[in-house]
Amino acid sequence: MDMTFSPEDEAFREEVRTFMAEKLPPEIREASIRSHSYVPKEYTRRWHKILFEQGWVAPSWPKEHGGCEWSPVQKHIYDEEYQNAQAPRLSSFGITMIGPVLYTFGTEAQKQHHIPSILNGEIFWCQGYSEPGSGSDLASLQTRAMLDDSRENYIVNGQKIWTSHAHHADWIFALVRTSTEGKKQEGISFLLIDMSTPGLEVKPIISIDGGHYLNEVYFTDVKVPVANRIGEENLGWTYAKYLLGHERTGIAGVAKSKRKLEKLKEIAGLEQDSGEPLIDDPNFKSKVASVGIKLQALEITNLRTLSAVSSGKSPGDASSILKIRGTEVEQELNELLMQSIGYYAHPYQPGRLFNQQSNMIPVGSDHSVGLMEEHLLRRAASIYGGSNEIQKNIIAKAIMGL
């Protein structure tokens, strides 16, 4: 693959870089630097609207649906400059996940109702997939949706778990069981549910890093109009696989990991080991070089997949490769960042991460803020979005024909 950028590509890079420098509010950037995962909702929404007004909020969407329809190289450049600017991560559930499902499989009424609010950032979404006992084996889910007497509404009962940002979300897209006949994948439907519907309850899960990112969602006789179903009844597994393919492509996180690699080199150049910069230690330098090579290979594979998607193809099962290697590289970088700051990684300081006032004296330099919390939170990266073990099974069955 030709990795040389054309003059037009470089001009686009400069346009993005200039925009980020001029339009990203400093207080939002500062919040993102402290914690890429816990930027306040009001900041995320404000930044979303800035990107929407620029026309850059949906890089992969077709223009006919309000997207940029950028080339793979443009998307790659944009992701790099976005991370270099340390801009906050937008909620991926609207733009990356449910949006493509809506404009591909949704009715005209569903598109008109939901797509504008996804693009302008007015409505936040979350994903109702995993359940207790139905994580990696998602098709075993038990949340039930039964038609009422009018046959115009489903009555939903059950529980979802590990639901990211459910406490911020206005809507949830959920997989529910509408039939117990045939294969378990054949009895699943895909519903769009208003989070304000009576009978829906959200309870927090505090993760190991000390933050509120995850939730449990309970459904007790929740009434959902049949008009809120995507596609046909009992074919939800088809739409879910389409969505997961897009999610696992994005989950590779190439630009984010490239930014982490640069930060790792920067910190290792500042921290001392036996009076010498850590980056000069042959053993540590070898580890940095090794993860850098893995990241470069991942970047090329990701570009190939983006190119296939841009030509109208689905990311398909090849996205499992990106998910596995992307999360492995991210976790390896986090481990090396922990090694680079040494004993400064030991103090647990979630208050610094969330910009909370504390009478405790900060420990360590500014470049260590948030690294331990990020390391802890992203231990789950190899599990969420479909565990890496399951992804290996997908590769063995679908790609290798085993």
Same domain, 276 and 382: yes
pLDDT of residue 64: 95
Of 268, 334, 258, 262, the closest CA to residue 297 belongs to: 258
Query: Are 261 and 351 members of one domain?
Result: yes
Q: Are 151 and 228 part of one and the same domain? A: yes
- pTM for the whole thing? 0.86
Q: Tokens for 45?
A: 């929404």
On whether both 78 and 151 belong to a single domain, the answer is: no
Gap between the Cα atoms of 352 and 362, Å rounded:
8
Specify the pLDDT at position 249.
59
**Among candidates 41, 60, 14, which has minimal Cα distance to 305?**
60
Cα distance between residue 218 and residue 226, in whole Å: 20
CA dist 29 and 36 (Å) reads: 10
247 noted as active-site residue = yes
Number of domains in the chain: 3
Residue 182 lies in a domain: yes
Find the helix packing angle between 282-310 and 236-250, rounded to 10°.
Answer: 140
What gap in Å lies between CA 111 and CA 163, rounded to an integer? 24
Q: Residue 181 domain-assigned?
A: yes
Q: Do 371 and 263 fall within a single domain? A: yes
Q: Is residue 289 part of a domain?
A: yes
Cα dist from 380 to 75, 138, 143, 298, whole Å? 26, 17, 24, 20
Q: Which burial class, exposed, middle or buried, applies to 207 when counting CB atoms under 10 A from its CB (0-12, 13-18, 19+)?
A: middle
**Residue 366 confidence (pLDDT):** 67
Structural domain for 167, as ranges: 125-236
DSSP string covering 117-130: HHHHT-S-EEEE--
Is 325 found in the same domain as 218? Answer: no
- What whole-number distance in Å separates Cα of residue 35 and Cα of residue 178? 40
Considering the domain architecture, whether residues 294 and 391 belong to the same structural domain is answered as: yes
Contacts of 391 (CB under 8 A, 6+ apart): 248, 320, 321, 323, 324
CA 7 and chain centroid, separation = 31
In eight-state DSSP terms, residue 12 is H
Q: Are residues 194 and 331 in the same domain?
A: no
In a domain, 143, yes or no: yes
- At residue 345, what is the residue type? A
Catalytic residue among 80, 81, 131, 247: 247
CATH number for the domain spanning 200: value is 2.40.110.10
- Residue 246: the pLDDT is 61
Partner residues linked to 277 by β-bridges? 272
| Cβ–Cβ < 8 Å for 95, 330 | no
Secondary structure of 294-351 in HEC code, one letter for each residue: HHHHHHHHHHHHHHHHHCCCCCHHHHHHHHHHHHHHHHHHHHHHHHHHHHHHCCCCHH
Element (H, E) at 356: none
64, 90, 116 — which closes off a domain?
90
283 and 201 together in one domain: no
What does each of the 402 residues of the chain score in pLDDT, given as a tens digit?
A: 556 788 999 999 999 999 999 999 999 998 888 777 788 899 999 999 999 999 999 998 999 999 999 988 898 899 999 999 999 988 889 999 999 999 999 999 999 999 999 999 999 999 999 999 887 788 899 999 999 999 999 999 999 999 999 999 999 999 999 999 989 899 999 999 999 999 999 999 998 888 888 999 999 999 999 999 999 999 999 999 888 766 555 677 888 999 999 999 999 999 888 889 999 999 999 999 999 999 999 988 888 777 766 666 665 667 788 889 999 999 999 999 999 988 888 776 665 555 555 555 555 566 777 788 888 888 988 888 778 888 888 888 876 666
Listed in sequence order, the residues at least 6 apart from 222 whose beta carbon sits closer than 8 Å to its beta carbon are 155, 156, 157, 193, 197, 198, 199, 200
CB neighbourhood size of 328 (10 A): 16
Q: Are residues 255 and 226 in the same domain?
A: no
Residue 365 has which token pair? Answer: 């330099």
- Residue 374's contacts (CB-CB under 8 Å, 6 or more residues apart) are 35, 36, 37, 209, 334
Residue 332's alpha-carbon distances to 8, 79, 154, 174, 379, in angstroms, are 34, 21, 45, 32, 10
CATH of residue 374's domain is 1.20.140.10
Does 226 share its domain with 361?
Answer: no
What is the model's pLDDT at position 331?
96
Is 153 within 8 Å of 226 (Cβ atoms)? Answer: yes
